[in-house]
Amino acid sequence: MLCVFAVAGRAETFRVASFHADLARKGPGLLLRDILKGDEQVEAVAEVIARVRPDLLLLLDVDFDLEERALAALTARVAAAGHRFEHVFTRRPNSGRATDLDLDGDGRRGGAGDAQGFGRFAGEGGMAVLSRWPIGEVTDLSGLIWGELPWAMYPEVDKRPFPSPEAKAVQRLSSVGHWVVPVETPGGQVTLAAFHATPPVFDGPEDRNGKRNHDEIMLWRHWMDGALGPAPDGRFIILGDANLDPVDGEGLKQAIVGLLGDVRLQDPKPTSAGAIAEANPEHKGNPALDTVNWPGPDPGNLRVDYVLPSADLRVRAAGVFWPAPGEDGHALAREASRHRLVWVDLDF
């Protein structure tokens, strides 16, 4: 359940969090505009982060700009709300990265679906790592070509690549990004394996998005195997938005079920009172584990956001910032994002 955030008692632990913050806007520069004018949703995002006070935070769905002005302004708002990050890493995402091909198979070029990841402009809906401690040299796996991976479930129609062999030759696997981010904590190096997968919907019978979502999640198991370079040596945490619930909703469930059951990882199963209070009665999964509040029974509330430490880390506590109706912070969480911030406390 949701805990009281008493930071003074956490001297021997550190807090890692993932937050899909719904900070993507409809055009370049609009996020910076909203931050500077004190937009209520942006202020709510900053307040949620300041209340939870993570030491390491993966921030998702935040627009990227080349000079990182929006991210600098946002971290300043978080600091004004009471929590400071000394180190930040971001990089241009695949979302909105234009190509000159029809990648989504709609017969046209130049649309949001023809970018390497769905996006109306360069940098839409990117990622960032915010840290209290120094960030080392990042390995960016976002450039991997999907169809070249030997384990890929690349879509086909009539035994031909969908939508074309030309598209298969350039289509990256990562819809937003996959980063391996080493952080030098006071207790030694911890590596963040950060990602944001595509929703497994909004496609046709070829199941392009469903298969891509599956392979974006599966990438981390192959990374742990050493198939994408050196296998992780030491403590690590896989975190981000998988856009896939292990029980409810659409998608190829074996991907997230396999990741959650991998013996090299542990699932802290963070819960919240708010998720229980707003559960969809027709869903089969444990509603306490849900992390996003989508309208209606379809898709409804699902567990799609994860913080999964390696098995050699000791979990002390875990939760989701989702207060129940009537509790302090309930309206704040709703204002900030449809997703809820997920956090895990670990031993140094």
Can you list the domains of the chain with their CATH numbers? 11-347 (3.60.10.10)
pLDDT at 11: 62
If you search the block for the tokens 């062999």, which residue do you land on?
165
The pLDDT of residue 296: 84
Backbone angles phi, psi at 156, to 5 degrees: -135, 150
d(CA 76, CA 69): 11
Indicate the pairing of strand 13-23 with strand 56-62. Answer: parallel
Close Cβ partners of 9 (under 8 Å, ≥ 6 residues apart):
none
Element housing 317 (H / E): strand 315-320
CB 164 within 8 A of CB 104: no
The residue type of 68 is: E
Q: Count the neighbouring beta carbons within 10 Å of the beta carbon of residue 281.
A: 7
H or E element at residue 22 = strand 13-23
The CA distance from 213 to 173, in Å, is 9
Tell me which residue of 120, 6, 111, 85 sits closest to 52, measured CA to CA: 6
Q: What is the pTM of this model?
A: 0.96
How far is 348 from 133, CA to CA, in rounded Å? 13
Taking only the tens of pLDDT, the chain with its 348 residues reads 334 444 444 568 999 999 999 999 999 999 999 999 999 999 999 999 999 999 999 999 999 999 999 999 999 999 999 999 999 999 999 999 999 999 999 999 999 999 999 999 999 999 999 999 999 999 999 999 999 999 999 999 999 999 999 999 999 999 999 999 999 999 999 999 999 999 999 999 999 999 999 999 999 999 999 999 999 999 999 999 999 999 999 999 999 999 999 999 999 999 999 999 999 999 999 999 999 999 988 899 999 999 999 999 999 999 999 999 999 999 999 999 999 999 999 998
